[in-house]
């Protein structure tokens, strides 16, 4: 998962040497990064604008706490008609970082004097992308027969229902005529 978040630089890293020296010290962060398109569960997620991470980072007895917000502007496709949809997604961030091995499962790890926020950002993006992406609740989708967008055109195609009894009849008929 980690490696899937590709960005153009290393902007999502911060140096924390000043934080870990003094307990309780805090710092504002304001990071921006342009991300490449990612594919998740068959959805292509395109980042129209650089993602933004803003907030406060502070040292609480060796645990680095980050509280802030992640702002995304993404383009997704409707699951039914594949129309492009632009969405603004604002995510509340409340995470903890530790450099010790014994830590709760939901803590992120860091080593040395820098923290790379990329894995945390990636997890937050994936958990906040809507499961159901629709241009509207009553999107009619694409016609299974002719492929036209049924929101724009009424093609009157008949969608054939598969009926096993009909299939059996056809087989019988084929035999009789052989
Ligand atoms: Zn749609
Ligand atoms: Zn059709």
CA distances from residue 8 to 4, 107, 113, 151, 166 in whole angstroms, order as listed: 13, 26, 22, 38, 58
Per-residue pLDDT of the chain (178 residues; tens, 9 = 90+): 333 455 555 557 777 776 666 667 788 999 998 999 998 888 899 999 999 999 999 988 888 999 999 999 999 999 999 999 999 999 999 999 998 888 888 999 988 888 889 889 999 999 999 889 999 999 999 999 999 999 999 898 986 666 667 667 667 666 665 5
145 alpha carbon to ligand 1 midpoint, in Å? Answer: 17
The overall pTM is greater than 0.85: no
Query: How far apart are the CA of 138 and the centre of ligand 2, in A?
Result: 18
- Ligand 1 centroid – CA 94 distance (Å): 34
């Amino acid at each position: 998962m980690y490696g899937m978040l590709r960005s153009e630089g290393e902007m999502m890293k911060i140096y924390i040497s000043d934080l870990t020296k003094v307990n309780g010290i805090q710092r504002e962060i304001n990071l921006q990064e342009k991300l490449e398109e990612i594919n998740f569960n068959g959805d292509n997620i395109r980042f129209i604008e650089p993602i933004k991470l803003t907030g406060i980072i502070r040292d609480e007895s060796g645990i680095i706490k980050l509280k802030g917000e992640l702002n995304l502007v993404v383009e997704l496709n409707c699951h039914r008609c594949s129309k492009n949809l632009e969405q603004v997604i604002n995510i509340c961030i409340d995470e903890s970082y530790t450099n010790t091995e014994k830590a709760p499962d939901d803590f992120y790890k860091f080593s040395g004097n820098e923290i790379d926020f990329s894995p945390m950002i990636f997890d937050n993006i994936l958990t906040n992308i809507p499961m159901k992406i629709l241009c509207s609740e009553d999107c009619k989708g694409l016609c299974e027969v002719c492929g036209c967008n049924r929101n724009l055109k009424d093609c009157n195609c008949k969608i054939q229902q598969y009926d096993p009894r009909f299939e059996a009849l056809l087989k019988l008929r084929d035999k009789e005529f052989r």
